[in-house]
Chains A and B, each alone.
Chain A
Amino acid sequence: MSNKVLETKGLSKYFYDPIKFQVLKEISMSVNHGEFVSIVGKSGCGKSTLLYLLSTMDTEYEGELFIHEELITGKSDKELAVIRNEKIGFVFQFHYLLSEYNVLKNVMLPGMKLGKLSDAEIEHNAMEHLKTLDMEDQALKMPNQLSGGQKQRVAIARALINNPLIIMGDEPTGNLDKKNSDMVFDIFNQLTKEHNQTLLIVTHDHDFANRTNRIVTMEDGKII
């Protein structure tokens, strides 16, 4: 198996509303296994749009997307859902926890969807992840009982539950103060160092970016 976890070939995307305009222009890039990559750029340059394409949630684009050398472009909604479930972990700026479930169940849910392990095993793994994030004593709380930083840590645990090929983040520290931002960075850093986890994180925080392995800079829909 090759070392490339993620690769794009000539990705372009247009928005048609209110006028036709090209957000992404022929983007070709790749992310290797174990890399901690950050994407930086001015607000509005297309970072989020790119991440949505890479995450397989947005399928309206030109060009090709490969995950683990496998062509993703053109797959059905169902196949893409399976890929997201199994191979990609997400952390968004907003935490997006399900308010009906407690912390532990929120973390377990993608694992239960994957259905490869028993509920007991998934629960064990979820507890382990919460432990490494120093959240095990919050496991039975509901999301609305947590602080912003805690919620983001739960979201990270949820992203980790299926041992994804890559974790993508769209400004995961955007809503957090300096102290919590640092903590999230430390968690990411620890994941690459100790577990060889591949990470692709969009950020506008230059401190954060400077501490990653590689910085991809975008401008006007292009990588420079």
Chain B
Amino acid sequence: MRFWNTYVLAHSIEEALDILSHAPGSALPVAGGTDLLLEIQQGEHEPVHTLVDITHIPELKRLEETEDHLFIGAAVPVSRVAESPLVRHHATAVAEACSQIGGPQVRNSATLGGNVAHALPAADGMIALLALDARAEVASLEGRRLEPMENLFKGPGQTALDLRREILVGFHVPLRRLHQASAFGRVMRPQGVALPILNTAVWVERHGEVIGDIRVAIGPSGPVPRRASAVEAVLRGQPCDQETFAAARRAIRESIRFRSSPLRASAEYRYHLSGVLLEEVVIKAWQRTLEPSVVEAV
């Protein structure tokens, strides 16, 4: 069968949900298609009867600062996310993560909504959103709601959303305050699949010379993405120094169960890298906490 039978460019959320819920055969939302269309083309995903393209819905393409949060529309191409001064300021980790997804052509299509809804345990944008404590705005036939990121995942590659009746509208990221900052880093392998063997995003709030508050997300660290709370606990309230990082490395070993994947990395390598990467990313964020809290000129 063809990759799809009907391809609809939806212009509003209501229209998209309406078509998704009423389409005769299978139906799915599609944004950049860099996951979904690729999988269909490769025969790794069944062809879909109706694809509802959500990239023409104005609300999903918004990228703006409101009173208490930054809104990143689910269908904003990640190239725009990466370059946005607003995102670079308030959600530096998200901008850094998005700037590393694929190449420029892929980034012009790929979206954060797709990155999250694809639900892989090490998607770069998703890991950054997790550390920033973003909440996802979900539109369903019943109305709108905000969900913590953790609630969006059911298993590897399985979203908890019902894509026949729900779509992601965008992400609400808390605004950055003085002495707060975030950072993202990853390690790739030059051979094999395009996904990182490890990525890490960190948000930190500085209290004088100690880490007042911190959030850490490490991928892939389990079937569904989640924060590394045991690692956060060890870092919280501590100075940003070698002793703290040694404790964090122990906490990683004790609390995270890395897997060996034959073509990408062994668990031991991931444990080692994870300590290295965590230190690098925490220090990067820590240094940024001293930056002035204004958005750089557009």
Do A and B originate from a single complex? no
